[in-house]
Amino acid sequence: MSAEAATDAGSAQRGRTTLTAQALRRLATGLVADASGASAREVVVRWEDARGSLHAAVSLPLVQGHAPERTLAEQGAELRAALTAGMADLAGRRVDGVDLRYSGFRRVEGRRVR
């Protein structure tokens, strides 16, 4: 073992990182808002324990104009995939299920820059 390797091993800090329920909820809200085109204020996420893994109940408005060429089923599948992949990548958490509920409707029209 070289002196550099011994120094690097000795400089490792001990401890742990904890994500609170609020942090997980805010992360999930941001992931869903980014994927759907809704604002984070319009997205509600509730976590449930599913035998040791996470199950999300998500409520958000249907944003028309964000992805007009996709069906509702396709948009829902993409939102579920974005949430499960994002939670795995960013928080190291496995999400086994996502229930989506569209709670309203909002139309987004393209804006022109002047």
With contact defined as beta carbons under 8 Å apart, do 80 and 32 qualify?
no
Residue 56 · residue 28 · CB < 8 Å: yes
- Supply the pLDDT for residue 1: 47
**Per-residue model confidence as pLDDT tens digits over 65-77:** 755 678 888 999 9
* All domains in the chain, ordered by first residue: 25-107 (3.30.300)
Residue with tokens 């086994």: 96
- Confidence bin at 55 (pLDDT 50/70/90): very high
Write the CA distances from 23 to 38, 66, 79, 101, integer angstroms: 19, 27, 19, 22
HSE-CB for 10 with a 13 A CA cutoff: 7
Chain mean position to CA 38: 13
Is 0.85 topped by the overall pTM? no
d(CA 71, CA 50): 29
